[in-house]
Amino acid sequence: MTSPSSSSARPRDLSEKLYRSALDLIPGGVNSPVRAFRNVDGEPFFVRRAKGCRIWDVDDNEYIDYVGTWGPAILGHAPRVVIEAVHNAAKDGVSFGIPNPYEIEMARLLCEWVPSVEKVRMVNSGTEATMSAIRLARGFTGRDKLVKFEGCYHGHVDSLLVAAGSGALTHGKPDSAGVPAALADLTITLPFNDPAAVEKVFAEAGDSIAAVILEPVPANAGLIPPREGFLQRLRNLTQEHGALLIFDEVMTGFRVARGGVQELSGVTPDLTALGKVIGGGLPVGAFGGRSEIMDYLAPDGPVYQAGTLSGNPLAMAAGLAQLKELEKQDGWNRLETLGAVFEKAVRDALAACGRNYTFHRLGSMFCLFFTEQEVHDLDDAKSSDLSAFKKFFGSTLEDGIYFAPSQFETGFISLAHSEADIETTAQAAARALAGL
């Protein structure tokens, strides 16, 4: 088996063979574009197994993983508590399409943990969560327009695939074909961290805006903290104009704190979209908020939203097991400690090779921007040197470290990463930086 410390080129014969087959059968060979390694001039490897902070590909190469299945694997891969919970739930049936007790337990936990949530509905992905939240906002306010921010990514929802981050940005197509112009015209897109731009839009069209939706800490254009007071300004403006404020905490929910960015910032939105960590690695999303708004949903209200597999017992059991374990292990404090160790290691590696690249971290989320410019919005993020990123990615991958194959994604540390893993990673990063 090839160990993470090996620096020789890794054989990927079986992955290459599988990828050839995939290209014949699946568009682009992948079931989600961010997996395609296109902008790092590579090809994806195929995973055989993952455990803790490590993954092994089908050619038996081993990697320390900082993608964590794009966020959900906060305890690490295949945690015992989650495997047992899924196994136990499955013995009683894998899907009912009829209410089950896990749904109540999950709803109670979410209402207790997430400040904005008085009532919640479960869905199957983050995309479904944001899609449903904006429909609800439009139904509740009787208005059509949405405000979103450049570089924020809210899943592949028609109305929100405008100036979108994540894979859309990575592949240079932040606006998708197939989104009707009439729909895109209802989405007003503004630079992040620019309160004056939001104030202007509200002054001009405030009474037609249903909602402002944002990742309160954008994590799909790299990782970009909000400037002091920005979230509160959005809260005040939306309230003054009768619009709703929607936080998309699919990335940050249960990750940066038990109650997400809204707990850390003290700014409470009207609606919140959740996903990723909430499912323990199974396909789960949720959206919730004030009761008076949530009660607009069918069957009580006029806004239709539904799902055959929503509240699925396996998914609920997995998510509950992961969330309870996080709390039991004092997860958020431990992740902050690990994150600080990681940050110091990265900053030391940067200093050692005389690079002044911008590094952002929030708890266990991080991004190294290959630019010396401060990063406060998408334009700043786009000043990154993508060819330097590409070289860095290739070098660390060959050294057995798997970072996301895009400058515009966020990295994740899990509770399964040890300080020794982080040290190994820092050494690989230092080698990669020295080689730029």
18 binds ligand HOZ (CB under 6 A): no
Catalytic residue (choose from 57, 248, 377, 399): 248
Residue pair 70/306 in contact (Cβ under 8 Å)? The answer is: no
248: annotated active-site residue: yes
130/305 with CB nearer ligand HOZ:
130
Cβ at position 116, least distance to ligand HOZ in Å? 21
Cα–Cα dist 370/108, whole Å? 42
Residues 260-279 that bind ligand HOZ (CB under 6 A): none
The CA distance from 231 to 216, in Å, is 7
Binding to ligand HOZ in span 219-248, by CB under 6 A: 220
Q: Which two tokens stand for residue 54?
A: 């490590």
Q: List the interface residues with ligand HOZ, window 406-435 (CB under 6 A).
A: 409
**Cβ proximity of 241 and 218 under 8 Å:** no
Strand partners, 65: 402
Interaction of residue 395 with ligand HOZ, rule CB under 6 A: no
Would you say 89 or 221 has its CB closer to ligand HOZ?
221
Choosing from 145, 148, 276, 382, the catalytic residue is 276
Q: Is residue 32 part of the contact set for ligand HOZ (CB under 6 A)?
A: yes
Per rule CB under 6 A, count of chain residues that contact ligand HOZ: 8
Q: Judged by CB, which is closer to ligand HOZ: 30, or 353?
A: 30
Query: For this structure, is 296 an active site residue?
Result: no
Between residues 139 and 222, which has the closer beta carbon with respect to ligand HOZ? 222
**Cβ neighbours for 19, distance < 8 A, ≥ 6 positions apart:** 29, 43, 44, 46
Contact string (CB under 6 A) for ligand HOZ, positions 39-78, x = contact: -------------------------------x--------
Q: Closer CB to ligand HOZ, residue 164 or residue 335?
A: 164
Pairing of strands 119-123, 285-289: antiparallel
* Interface residue with ligand HOZ, options 18, 34, 75, 323 (CB under 6 A): 34
∠ CA 46-52-56, nearest 5°, is: 25
For ligand HOZ, give the closer residue by CB, 42 or 195: 42
Q: Which helix (H) or strand (E) holds 332?
A: helix 331-352
Contacts of 243 (CB under 8 A, 6+ apart): 141, 143, 147, 202, 206, 209, 210, 211, 212, 237
CA-nearest of 192, 193, 213, 189 to 201 is 189
Structure-block tokens of residue 343: 């940050």
Write out the E strands in 275-421.
285-289, 358-362, 365-369, 401-402, 411-412
The one catalytic residue in 153, 357, 402, 421 is 153
Residue sitting closest to ligand HOZ (CB): 32
Residue 276 falls in the annotated catalytic set: yes
| Residue 167 makes contact with ligand HOZ by CB under 6 A | yes
**Shortest Å distance, C-beta 32 to ligand HOZ:** 3
Q: Which residues carry out catalysis?
A: 153, 248, 276
User: What is the binding site for ligand HOZ (CB under 6 A)?
Assistant: 32, 34, 70, 153, 166-167, 220, 409
